[in-house]
Structure 1
Amino acid sequence: MAGRTLAADGAIPISVEQDYPSAAYGWFVVFVLTVAYVFSFLDRQILSLLVEPMKRDLGLSDTQISLLQGLAFALCNVLVGLPLGRLVDSKRRTWLVAGGIAFWSLATAGCGLVRSYGALLALRMGVGAGEAVLTPAANSLIGDHFPPHKVGLPLAVYSIGIYIGGGLALVIGATIIAGTLQSGPMLLPLVGEIRPWQSVFLIIGLPGLLVALVALCLREPRRTGAVHSITAADGSQVAAALPLRDVFAYLRENKRAFLSINLFMGFSAVAGYGVAAWVPTMFIRRHGWTAVEIGHIYGLLLLTFGTAGVLCGGWLGDVMTRRRGASGRLRAALWVKIATIPLIFGYTLLPDGGLALIPLAGTVFLPTFLNGLSPAIIQQMVPNQMRGTAISIALLVINLLGLGLGPTLIALMTDRVFHDPAMIHLAILAVSVAMLILSLTCLLIGYRPYIALVERLQAGSVSREAQAAGATSP
């Protein structure tokens, strides 16, 4: 009988491999989606290298630039994220991905053609809107290409696009800028003269259309574990959209697990965004390093240890799921959090900057395990046709808490509690430890409800697939 089998020890049921596309094609899909994720961060981060020429040519203030970099982008990304997540749960996801890539790529390229701040602001909001569909759709697609006990590593590979894209934005962006500055202004037909910084947006944005074309050609996989289906014109069974009232009812019924897990990730993001924003300043003020020195070193740590941590987190989650079933990934997250505690004290309190880099590398490596664990943790909590919505909710919590509170909490601790900029290391320590305690508390509160929810979902999935197999047997 095609379908799933239950493990004797109660672990998560493991789907028969034939229920999924081939592993080779699944990894090809992961590669395409990861490349798209890299392009999204490349398009998102490139503006940070163009601040001064943009300010000069358009007469902008720092506040106007900051809106382009952060608030306008983030708010638009969050506002359209939930509606797009709903579409991901019922529509053809490969088309949504391709459309999103094309939209943000054209918006990025359009930034190189505008002559006013208002148009530039609108296009940056367009970049945020286009990118909002990628991660919910990518997580849902990857979940339908790999069985539950093997999905962690592919999701982790996708997640490293954050670190690769952010690094490439600096390396490739600087190279392009150097070339365009040498060549000077360009004259384009129908457009006229464009400045070197405008050329950068065109060069960075337009190649994304090729990625969109490849994504458009991807095959839409069968939705595994779908709870509702309808009969298509050709007689096949396809996933039907869950009524919104059913989605809300499901979330209310399992609110303890959902709220706890999302807050666990949100408080973890507060520490992550805060540390990333202030660690370079800590080394400058406390150890007397230059911005160039800590920038190069910290950037290298993020690129290497950050990428390695995400991949190891995905691998560890798969291993723990095979061994411990529904609790596997939460156990891994728990031990990673605990192991990080002495490292936080180490890099913030060691008086020698060179020695402090050793525990700092550890605090880059271990916390990024969560980037490899979190997508699979969320996926296990919901039926297939709620994956996009669930990921969108998680991203909303992470972005609002992490980006909204992380950097600001550390600054407030320095200004209002310690009243001394030189005490930045103690502010980082205090906020990091407080967020770690809060996140661990949320994880422990949601631990048993999460396991019960996952096991209930898996048992229901087995029952549905067994019924479907029986119905088609001769």
Structure 2
Amino acid sequence: MTDELLPEARKSYRYQWYVVVVCMVAYVFSFVDRQILSLMIEPIKRDLNLTDTQFSLLNGLAFSLLYSFMGLPIALLADKRSRPLIISIGIAFWSMATALSGLSKGFAHMFLARIGVGVGEAALSPAAYSMFSDMFPKNKLGRAYGIYSLGSFIGGAAAFIIGGYVINLLKSVDAVALPLVGEVRAWQLTFLIVGLPGLLLALLVFLTVRDPGRRGLKHNSDGGVQKVALRNVFAFLWSHRRTFAMHYLGFSLYALVLLGMMAWTPAFYIRAFGLTSTEAGYLLGVVVLAANGSGVLFGGWLVDLLAKRGHSDAAMRAGVIGAVGMTVPVIAFTQVGNLWASLVLLAVAMFFASFPMPASTAAMQVLSPNQMRAQVSAVFLLISNLIGLALGTTLVALVTDRVFGDERMVGSSLSLVYGLASVVTVLLLWRGCGHFRRSLARERLHAEQREAVPAS
């Protein structure tokens, strides 16, 4: 008897967890390629003659611009075509774009390369989320999304640690001559080193991951599967507009805090405590790996625990708990004068800041019909990344450059922007819990009515 025919309690899920782990590794690679830039802020600013605001555009807007908007057409494909193929093409594309970042000679070149990284990475999460919802029952989705989301923090930690190691290794090297490429700086070589191995991972996904059968599809009266256009997705979102407004805006501001801290904490510790890039990379790598890694797993476990206890709004409720927990430490970690006290507060903030990754995803997948799950996720990622990456990183830079006029005041900018965002996040997600419960009840009633029609 195959696993597909076994009762739920006896099913092994070995292959399904393998797919989750492979996708998690892809997420690791994506965050290394995305995050490595923030550690090399000072040499890149120096060699390309950039301000904090220009650097924030590379770190935020350039990446998020097409990462956000390409998510929708790619998600439309993911709801209809082979999801592993889409993922493998995306991995190959962003890996090449990361390597090309290492060949940048100016702001415009780097901006275009970062756009390419965003386009490739847009293929991963909507397709992966959609596959997981077809491979696991609802009481395992929180853990599946939690393990997958862990890849972002392993990747963030690896970017800091590997970046710090490479920078230290090449600290006495001003430039390196490469065949066919010519002379490159140490930071440019770092991009080449972290980008090219992704091509092997793309091949692994293509060869070993198969597209799971789609569950819960809606059918026409003739038995055929209903086709879902983008207008149907927006109609569904509009029918639950209060729920998705609270979800999308609340978790987007949550992302603003998390992604902003990932982007700006290296600069803060380098400027405020006089750390080298290598020292900052090692310390922040440990914090991200321990605090964010445990936080995202705990967040996924908390979603499943609350669901087992009968809370239909479990995912939203977990988000509220995390947002409350991060508010005070996210304000305080930049305002203490002791390095170790600051790092402890940062670790607490990062632990709670990682809750929304499994929580926001589980909420969308539980509520959305199968044919539009990837597209609903892509709309969220569009809003979340425009707010979290483009707006969040740039707001801190603008406050630093225009309000304080001193790059050493980046810590105060972090406290001001992310402290306010944390408070608003709590309010939005708390309001969203009630809306989510009502939306879920409505969708369940509609499903029961559809199932009752043939029998009448």
Tell whether the structures are fold-level matches, with TM greater than 0.5. Answer: yes
Sequence identity (%): 38
The Cα shift of 1:290 comes to 3.4
Tell me which amino acid in the other structure corresponds to 1:224: R
My pick for the range that moved more, 414-423 or 196-205, is 414-423
The Cα shift of 1:151 comes to 0.6
In the TM superposition, what are the counterparts of 1:376-391 in structure 2 within 5 Å?
A: 376-391=362-377
The Cα shift of 1:274 comes to 4.0
CA distance, structure 2, for counterparts of residue 277 and residue 338 of structure 1: 22
CA distance, structure 2, for counterparts of residue 430 and residue 117 of structure 1: 28
Does residue 76 of the first structure (1) align with residue 39 of the second (2)? no
**1:52–1:441 CA distance, 2 compared to 1 (3 A):** closer
| Among 247, 269, 275, the residue aligned to 1:290 | 275
Question: 1:150-204: per-residue Cα shift (whole Å, max 9, x none)?
Answer: 11111111112222212223433455574796994233xxx47564766655543
Equivalent pair of 1:316/1:332 in contact (CA under 8 Å): yes
**1:47–1:140 CA distance, 2 compared to 1 (3 A):** same
| Among 17, 22, 30, the residue aligned to 1:32 | 22
Partner of residue 219, structure 1: 210
What 5-or-longer segments of structure 1 have no aligned partner? 1-14, 232-236
Secondary structure of 1:326's match?
coil
Tell me which amino acid in the other structure corresponds to 2:213: R
Question: 1:343-382: per-residue Cα shift (whole Å, max 9, x none)?
Answer: 4465455554433443332111122122231211221221
Secondary structure of 1:290's match?
coil
Question: Aligned residues, how many?
Answer: 444
In the TM superposition, what are the counterparts of 1:288-327 in structure 2 within 5 Å?
A: 288=273, 290-291=275-276, 296-327=282-313
| RMSD (CA atoms) | 4.0
Equivalent pair of 2:307/2:314 in contact (CA under 8 Å): yes
**1:133–1:423 CA distance, 2 compared to 1 (3 A):** closer
Secondary structure of 1:152's match?
helix
The Cα shift of 1:134 comes to 0.6
Partner of residue 121, structure 2: 131
| Among 435, 438, 442, the residue aligned to 2:428 | 442
Question: 1:381-426: per-residue Cα shift (whole Å, max 9, x none)?
Answer: 2111211111111112222212233344455666777788887666
Does residue 269 of the first structure (1) align with residue 255 of the second (2)? yes
Secondary structure of 2:231's match?
helix
**1:458–1:17 CA distance, 2 compared to 1 (3 A):** farther
In the TM superposition, what are the counterparts of 1:318-397 in structure 2 within 5 Å?
A: 318-344=304-330, 346-347=332-333, 350=336, 352-397=338-383
| Among 16, 38, 49, the residue aligned to 1:61 | 49
Does residue 169 of the first structure (1) align with residue 159 of the second (2)? yes
Partner of residue 207, structure 1: 197
**1:285–1:449 CA distance, 2 compared to 1 (3 A):** same
What 5-or-longer segments of structure 2 have no aligned partner? none
Equivalent pair of 1:90/1:240 in contact (CA under 8 Å): no
Tell me which amino acid in the other structure corresponds to 1:258: F
**1:134–1:343 CA distance, 2 compared to 1 (3 A):** same
Question: 1:303-327: per-residue Cα shift (whole Å, max 9, x none)?
Answer: 2101110111011111111112422
Question: 1:439-461: per-residue Cα shift (whole Å, max 9, x none)?
Answer: 12222332222112223334555
CA distance, structure 1, for counterparts of residue 334 and residue 41 of structure 2: 31
The Cα shift of 1:108 comes to 3.5
Secondary structure of 1:144's match?
helix
Quick check: which has more Rg, 1 or 2? Answer: 1
My pick for the range that moved more, 151-160 or 360-369, is 360-369
CA distance, structure 1, for counterparts of residue 10 and residue 226 of structure 2: 19
CA distance, structure 2, for counterparts of residue 349 and residue 51 of structure 1: 22
The Cα shift of 1:466 comes to 8.7
Tell me which amino acid in the other structure corresponds to 1:387: R
Secondary structure of 2:309's match?
helix
Tell me which amino acid in the other structure corresponds to 1:320: L
Secondary structure of 1:44's match?
helix
Secondary structure of 1:324's match?
coil
In the TM superposition, what are the counterparts of 1:40-189 in structure 2 within 5 Å?
A: 40-47=30-37, 60-62=48-50, 68-110=58-100, 121-173=111-163, 175=165, 178=169, 184-187=176-179
The Cα shift of 1:431 comes to 3.4
Secondary structure of 1:151's match?
helix
My pick for the range that moved more, 303-312 or 391-400, is 391-400
My pick for the range that moved more, 311-320 or 393-402, is 393-402
CA distance, structure 2, for counterparts of residue 171 and residue 74 of structure 1: 24
CA distance, structure 2, for counterparts of residue 463 and residue 457 of structure 1: 10
